[in-house]
Amino acid sequence: MLLVILAQVLTEAIRGTDNAGAAGIFLVIGIIALSVAVGAAVLRAWGQTETLSMSFLGVGLVVVVVMLFLLPVIFSWVMIPVVPVLGAGTFALSWWVSNRMGPEANRINDERWPETHR
C-alpha cells in the first residue's frame, strides 16, 4: 500500500496530476513484481520451499480480491489493517495449497503409495 501511495506522489510530482496515464500499468506491474520478490525472500528466510510460487499465489490472490471487491474503498483509512490481514490469509492459503499440491506433497504420496498399490 505504501508503494502505491509513493507511486501516486511521484506521479503527481512529475506529471502534475495523480493520474499516471499509460505508464500506470507499468507502475502496477512493478509494484506487484516487487511484492512477489519480497514475499519470496521472507518465505525463504523462514525456511519454506517453493517460495516464488507461494508468494506469487499469495500476492495474486490479494490483487484479485482487491480488484473485485475493495477497489471503491481502497484509499479509505479502513483499508490500512484490511490489506495486511487479507495478505496474511492469502499467504496462509497459498502455503496450504503448496504443501498439499507441490512437489514435496507428491514425494510424500509416492512414498506412502508405491506403484503396486495405485
Q: What is the pLDDT of residues 24-82, one digit of tens each?
A: 888 889 999 999 999 999 999 999 988 999 999 999 999 999 999 999 998 899 998 99
**What pLDDT shows up at residue 12?**
84
pLDDT above 70 for 116: no
Predicted TM-score (pTM) of this structure: 0.77
Range with the poorest average pLDDT among 11-20, 24-33, 108-117: 108-117
Q: What is the mean pLDDT of residues 5-9?
A: 81
- Rounded alpha-carbon distances, angstroms, from residue 62 to 18, 65, 69, 84: 23, 5, 11, 9
Report the percent of the chain where pLDDT is more than 70.
85
DSSP for 36-61, please give it: HHHHHHHHHHTT-SSHHHHHHHHHHH
Q: Predicted confidence band at 107 (pLDDT cuts at 50, 70, 90)?
A: low
